[in-house]
Structure 1
Amino acid sequence: MTPTPKSWKPFGEQLEILMERGLQVDDCEAAKSYLQRIGYYRLSGYWYPFRQLERQQGDGGKISDRRSNVFVAGSHFREVVQLYVFDKKLRLLALDALERIEMALRVDIAHLLGKQDIHAHENPNCFHGHFSKQIQRKGYAKGKTWHQVWLERYQQNLHRARREPFVEHYLKKYGQLPIWVAVEVWDFGMMSKLYAGMKPADKGRIAAKYGATDGGTLAEWVRSLNFIRNVSAHHSRLWNINVLERSAPLVDDSYWQTLSNARPFFYFCLIQKLLRNICPNSTWAQRFQALVQEFPATVSGTVSLQDMGMPESWETWELWR
């Protein structure tokens, strides 16, 4: 039987529900304003860890914990907002770094492949056979190669950008874009997939520049960072998200071995590792450290930087100095 959908509620009633469940509100008008500007549902992801855990017995007698609707004693609405603001700044900081990484990789891919063929991105012979020749037997790519699927996405982006002066000029004059121009209409995901489809030797040349052991490892990093980029670009919660596109743990040193590749901090460390190669004089690490100092100190102590995957004394790690 389908449950009855929740009914629409005015902002004042939304706030009353939160207060009835134990969330302390020091300024009702300010709290209502945040609900009006950010939304109950979006903020609910930030007050979720402030909700009490309760034990329940499931089928087969299995015991598990679930979040109740009641808030932990001492939970404040202002702390929820502070956590939201921290996460917003974290997303913007991630996007700032990922833009630099994306631009650098675009140049490397275009420069290497462009030497082979100025239209390499459209030439299946410039890529690994699994990407450019193997026909897929199921899923949305059924009957096509992954390169053909990629080219369809490329043509869609090219069509959307057709009024851009540089696109219009190249198409009118030459009929197609050379790869060093075509990169400008790719998104991060397209770049990630094309790099993954390159021949191992070509991928390896680029990977060596970024401190990755091989091309497959760098392709994995880029795929994970595309996940972080999508979360950030779509204004989703980032600070304690469970990362779904995971890279293999690194064993470079003892610090890397303390990190969980399911938590966001692991990928901020990857970002910093890449930035040290791309922008050695960047202050991004210092700005990240400064932002961490803004993490809200909650009365109830229900949230902490450990939820982000940060080990103690991470600031002493050479990567961040």
Structure 2
Amino acid sequence: MKEFKTIAAQIGILESRGMIVGEGASTVLLRENYYSIINGYKDPFLDKGAMRANANDLYLEGTRFEWLYSLFQFDRELRQITFSYLLQAEAALKTATVYAFCESHKACSDYLDRSSFCSAREMLTPKAFKGNIISLHSKNLNALMGILNRKLVINAQSRPFVAHYMAAYGEVPLWVLCNDLTFGNMSHFYQLMKRSDQNSTCKHLFKTTLRAKDAKRITPHEVLRAYDVLTHFRNLCAHDERLYCAKVGNDGYASVVKLMEIALPGDVVTNMKSDVEALLQKYEGKLHVITARNLKKQLGI
């Protein structure tokens, strides 16, 4: 295990590895955390050639601490922008899913009935899935039923609106309960829906994204992929993890931008791209080793 290092020792390490560290760095490191800035954002600034003969990190000649910190700040603002649009996409996907389910399952508690969901043979899976679908179906359906039923057991952690409905009516409609379900919960819910209900979800999304009547239809597989990828990146943003070069499988930020189109109107996605463009312009010249053009290409904007 590595020993605790004081701020002075941390700066000494950076300088010994070729970084130019200014006076304000000590305050930044104390406020933001060495690991978050250095370990998270050092890669573009490392001298990979020189490191072949050295066990330690070595920085490109002239690399300054404020360059790494600027990339750290850029990524933080990118998360803030992206998170605001991901929340809109989450609401749109959840609402379309719940509306489609409740259209064909009228009883308030139908979402607690296993027969309201698909069989293992009908369960939607990613196209690359090669596992045991019967086992996956059983596992996911059991997990979903457990989550849904636990939400209806009132305790100190219960959300006020759930407690109110249980006290007043003895049950909670899905369109109310969904506000206490995570994006991931709803992703599994959608995956286990009957195909007819998934098709209805797609139709609602087609309408709410304001697509032209002759536009390409949204498919159940596209919605499942949007749920999967956007859930991962939503959680990444919420937990303040590195975003600009993050990968979930083969999906990076460019996939997020593309999949937003499944949930949000085109003009909203355009606004998101414009917000990121403005952010790139703000930091152009501050990152030095990384150009705004390269970042733009990497982000898929």
Q: Which amino acid aligns with 1:149?
A: A
Show the counterpart of 2:213: none
Show the counterpart of 1:20: 16
Q: Could you list the per-position Cα deviations for residues 250-278 of structure 1 after superposition, in whole angstroms to 9, with x for gaps in the alignment? A: xxxxxxxxxxxx3312312322563225x
Give the TM-score normalised by structure 1: 0.75
User: What's the secondary structure of 1:7's corresponding residue?
Assistant: coil
1:126 to 109, 112, 116: 116
Provide the aligned C-alpha RMSD in A: 3.3
Identity of aligned residues (%): 22
CA contact (8 A) 2:67 2:288 kept: no
1:149 to 132, 140, 143: 143
Give the TM-score normalised by structure 2: 0.79
CA gap 1:188/1:142 in 2 versus in 1, 3 angstroms: closer
CA contact (8 A) 1:192 1:219 kept: yes
Does residue 1:73 correspond to 2:61, yes or no? yes
The structure with more strand, counted as a fraction of residues: 1
1:8 to 4, 8, 13: 4
User: What's the secondary structure of 1:71's corresponding residue?
Assistant: coil
Q: How far apart are residue 114 of structure 1 and its match? A: 1.5
User: What's the secondary structure of 2:28's corresponding residue?
Assistant: helix
CA gap 1:186/1:309 in 2 versus in 1, 3 angstroms: farther
1:182 to 177, 188, 195: 177
Structure with the bigger RCO (C-alpha within 8 Å, sep 6+) is 2
CA contact (8 A) 1:52 1:67 kept: no
Distance 2:168 2:174 in 1: 16
CA contact (8 A) 2:112 2:145 kept: yes
Distance 2:278 2:192 in 1: 38
**Mean alpha-carbon deviation: is it higher for 285-294 or for 41-50?**
285-294
CA contact (8 A) 2:226 2:260 kept: no
Q: How far apart are residue 132 of structure 1 and its match? A: 9.8
CA gap 1:56/1:292 in 2 versus in 1, 3 angstroms: closer
CA contact (8 A) 1:132 1:146 kept: no
Q: Which amino acid aligns with 2:92?
A: A
Q: Could you list the per-position Cα deviations for residues 110-160 of structure 1 after superposition, in whole angstroms to 9, with x for gaps in the alignment? A: 222123132233222222112999xxx99xx89954122012233455557
CA contact (8 A) 2:70 2:286 kept: no
Does residue 1:225 correspond to 2:221, yes or no? no
CA gap 1:126/1:97 in 2 versus in 1, 3 angstroms: same
Q: Which runs of 5+ in 1 are unaligned?
A: 58-64, 247-261, 316-321
Q: Could you list the per-position Cα deviations for residues 195-222 of structure 1 after superposition, in whole angstroms to 9, with x for gaps in the alignment? A: 1111122212222434664101210121
CA contact (8 A) 2:79 2:243 kept: yes
CA contact (8 A) 1:87 1:239 kept: yes
Show the counterpart of 1:86: 74
Show the counterpart of 2:210: none
Aligned residues: 278
Show the counterpart of 2:88: 100
Show the counterpart of 1:61: none
Q: Which runs of 5+ in 2 are unaligned?
A: 124-130, 207-215
